[in-house]
Amino acid sequence: MRVIILGSGTGVPSLERSACSFLLETGSQKILFDLGPGTIRRLTEAGIALPQISFVFFSHFHPDHTGDLVAFLFATKYPAEYRRRIPFKMVGAKGLLDFYRGLIKVFGHWVELDPGLLDIVEMDNTGRDQHAGGAVAVESLPMNHSASSIGYRVTAPDGATVAYTGDTDVCENAVTLAREADLFICESALPDDMKVDGHLTPSLAGGIAAEAGVRQLLLTHFYPECEGVDIEAQCRKTYSGPLTLARDLMTVEVSKGPR
């Protein structure tokens, strides 16, 4: 598997960091996780065309994770010569269908796709759930952020695993989700001394990764307050394994490690 970070930031505008999103590639399959503002531009910069996306998974419905969905749907439908013709799926917690219907109420037929082109799948936001994402198996668990917040664990045919928290505060489900993952993509919104409810800091994220025994930790979802702070040093208070700080358009190769 290969992961491309499309957005390592938040809803705060930044030339360096788009809002939350990453692409997971396995074989010819391209799976998008979250669609924050700036995602479509980053996809284009990465050389990925929208019709290549077969699945879009949402960690929750906040604007910094869904803001480019309207643009994605509009570009999927128009103009005719670039229009998608291969069906795809949108997956998220219960409420995703109502969320999509709400967009149609606002934007009308401009974002309403032809019958059979879009399949919407709602996953349980109260307990463990699973879905077959084409060539990969996807499990989900509720996270400690909002009612619609779920994290994902993706397993490729060769057994390699990627876990993604979306937004969360400390919770046992985050540890369960990340258990022995080959790559753990974890939010780390603010420095240790600026902790807020519903989000992690570097040392808290590191603690989850250490308890879960992950092979590699990738921190992301950085607010501007993280710039100029030694995020790595704060994470090292609790985690000693391989560590990467996300940057937009960064690529990470993921392979199955020893269990």
- Tell me the pLDDT tens digit for each residue of 42-99: 999 999 999 899 999 999 999 999 999 999 999 888 766 666 678 899 999 999 999 9
**E strands within the chain?**
2-7, 21-26, 29-33, 53-57, 88-93, 118-123, 129-133, 136-142, 150-155, 161-164, 183-187, 217-220, 243-245, 251-253
205-to-8, 153, 202 alpha-carbon distances in Å? 15, 16, 5
Let me know if residue 27 belongs to a domain.
yes
Per-residue pLDDT tens digits for 161-174: 999 999 999 999 99
pLDDT at residue 225, rounded to an integer: 97
Let me know if residue 192 belongs to a domain.
yes
CATH of the domain at 173: 3.60.15.10
Distance, in Å, from the CA atom of 256 to the CA atom of 234, rounded to the nearest integer, reads: 28
Let me know if residue 137 belongs to a domain.
yes
Instruction: Please count the CA atoms within 13 angstroms of the CA of 120 that sit on its side-chain side.
Output: 14
Per-residue pLDDT tens digits for 191-210: 999 999 999 999 999 999 99
Residue 126 belongs to domain spanning: 2-245
Q: Is cis: bond before 79, omega within 30 of 0?
A: yes
Let me know if residue 259 belongs to a domain.
no
Let me know if residue 184 belongs to a domain.
yes
Per-residue pLDDT tens digits for 1-32: 999 999 999 999 999 999 999 999 998 899 99
The neighbour count for residue 106, using CB atoms within 10 Å, is 9
Let me know if residue 253 belongs to a domain.
no
One-letter identity of residue 63: P
Provide the domain count of the chain.
1
Let me know if residue 183 belongs to a domain.
yes
Q: What is the pTM of this model?
A: 0.96
pLDDT higher than threshold 90 for residue 137:
yes
Let me know if residue 131 belongs to a domain.
yes
- What values do phi and psi take at 239, rounded to 5? -140, 130
